């Protein structure tokens, strides 16, 4: 992939407007109805579309617990799927709202019960090299990209991920993070400007964002 164009004399890139799941309107409604009815392939389609960006978001919030948190998020989605109403964008916002709540719960729990990770050498078996979650992250979110975004202040990083990676609009991001839409716009603008400065300094990543 060629490097992104310079940002020096342009506005920051806008988040993509295409659906993350790839369907909308009646097609999404049909997919969701089938998933509610227990159709495994339909639910798998929802999972395949949203789990990679969900993991990117959770890795930003809690790198050591992202995969466990993602599993908890999908369990809650399964439990609440029958009660959900809304379109494809609303579904994405619902999933990422659950993710944020689970991340905050994990932080509170970890603060009450601090733990020390054990060295990997103490385990008889290690994770397989072809872990599906790792493969998804490798294809859609390189470590360099996550490391670059992680250099931003936490509030800017979270807004950038929700806007650019999750593809959520300002109003939905504002609801998720509990801030005013104007504040979300400012945080996103500052975050993208800072990323532009980092990119100009030589930290080039594959940035699949449409202008």
Domain ranges of the chain: 25-113+140-200
The pLDDT value given to residue 113: 66
Please tell me whether the overall predicted TM-score, pTM, comes out greater than 0.75 for this model.
Answer: no
Whole-number pLDDT of residue 137: 41
Identify the burial level of 21 via C-beta atoms within 10 angstroms of its C-beta, where 0-12 means exposed, 13-18 middle and 19 or more buried: buried
Those residues of the chain that have pLDDT short of 70 are: 1-20, 22, 111, 113-145, 202-211
CB 178 within 8 A of CB 100: no
SS3 content of the chain, % helix, strand, coil (to 5): 65, 0, 35
Res 196: pLDDT: 83
Instruction: Please check whether residue 57 is in contact with residue 161, taking contact to mean a CB–CB distance below 8 angstroms.
Output: yes
Q: What is the pLDDT of residue 117?
A: 53
CATH number for domain 25-113+140-200, candidates 1.20.1070, 1.10.3470, 1.20.140, 1.20.59: 1.20.140
So what's the pLDDT on residue 25?
A: 80
Provide the sign of the torsion angle of the four alpha carbons 52, 54, 60, 63, taken in this order.
Answer: negative
Per-residue pLDDT tens digits for 58-96:
988 888 889 999 999 999 999 999 999 999 999 999 999
Cβ atoms of 162 and 177 within 8 Å: the answer is yes
CA atoms of 40 and 25, how far apart (whole Å): 21
């Amino acid at each position: 992939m060629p490097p992104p164009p310079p940002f020096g004399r342009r506005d920051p890139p806008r988040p993509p407007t295409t659906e993350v799941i790839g369907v909308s309107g009646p097609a999404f409604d049909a997919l969701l109805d089938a998933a509610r009815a227990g159709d495994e392939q339909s639910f798998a389609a929802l999972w395949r579309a949203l789990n990679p960006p969900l993991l990117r978001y959770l890795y930003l919030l809690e790198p050591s617990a992202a995969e466990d948190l993602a599993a908890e998020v999908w369990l809650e989605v399964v439990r609440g799927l029958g009660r959900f109403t809304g379109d494809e964008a609303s579904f994405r916002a619902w999933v990422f709202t659950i993710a944020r709540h689970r991340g905050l719960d994990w932080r509170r729990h970890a603060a009450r019960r601090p733990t020390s990770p054990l060295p990997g050498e103490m385990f008889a078996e290690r994770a397989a090299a072809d872990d599906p979650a790792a493969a998804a992250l490798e294809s859609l979110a390189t470590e360099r990209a996550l490391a670059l975004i992680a250099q931003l202040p936490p509030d800017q990083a979270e807004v950038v991920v929700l806007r650019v990676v999750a593809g959520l609009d300002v109003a939905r991001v504002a609801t998720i993070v509990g801030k005013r839409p104007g504040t979300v716009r400012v945080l996103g603008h500052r975050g993208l400007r800072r990323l532009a400065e980092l990119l100009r300094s030589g930290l080039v990543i594959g940035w699949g964002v449409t202008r």
